[in-house]
Structure 1
Amino acid sequence: MTVPAEGPHWIGYFDAAEFAGTTGGRLLEMAQRKPEFAGPAAEHISQAIALRKSNRLRSTALDQLGIAEARIIEGEVKEACRLGHLALTTVERTASDRVRVKLAEMYNRTKSLADVPAVAEFRDRVRPLVVAPV
């Protein structure tokens, strides 16, 4: 078997943080149908956040929004909002369309909880950051 001299372009940034974030993201997708995956998703995403390089704003923002989403799925609404506010601090520092899409998804996911004061406050802060909620 011949090993290519160079790997794919993305391999340069695929480190332990990226692996943990990708794993957490896939578990989070599974948690949308089976909530028991939310806890493991949050664990992997937390690991990604801890390992992530400070200059990876887009990935950090996606991780932070992901862990907030996992907490919503688990029913930990106040904690989800606390984490969501932390995520917004990072979101506001990046112009990533992918982050804005994830933020709009989070905004829509919290619509049914909008009467909870912590959620209403979070949504008020998110609203100007999303052009048009999906």
Structure 2
Amino acid sequence: MKGLLQRVRGARVDVAGEVVGAIDQGLLVLVAIEPQDTRASADKLLHKLLNYRVFSDADGKMNLSLAQVEGGLLLVSQFTLAADTHSGLRPSFSTAAPPALGEELFGYLLSKAQQVHGNVASGRFGADMQVHLVNDGPVTFLLQA
């Protein structure tokens, strides 16, 4: 499971002109699920997302986590992040989880996040989404679980 996290000042996801998820300061995370992923992978990724220290402390050092700053968490399913781009000029999606597994594990990740973190929003699995964000820094990391 991969999570491309971006520290944001604000972000939202629109589907067909409707806002389906939005946060103020926090993390926007594009989530890719691969065939070998399990609920344990989702648990590991969520632990990293909530505790990865990417927010500045009083000295301006990246030393605070999402949980510590009580920021928002916006999760967006992104199967293209799992693409195989090693050869050719067209990505292959054979390394992405089948849609049923992807939806099940993304739903599990979202549910667990909502249980343990107060401010969680999401896009809509499988939808054509427009993601709007103000990247803060910019600060972007690729996490793998």
TM-score, normalised by the number of residues in structure 2: 0.28
* Bigger relative CO (Cα 8 Å, ≥ 6 apart): 2
Larger Rg: 1
Q: Which has the higher strand share?
A: 2
Is the helix fraction higher in 1 or 2?
1
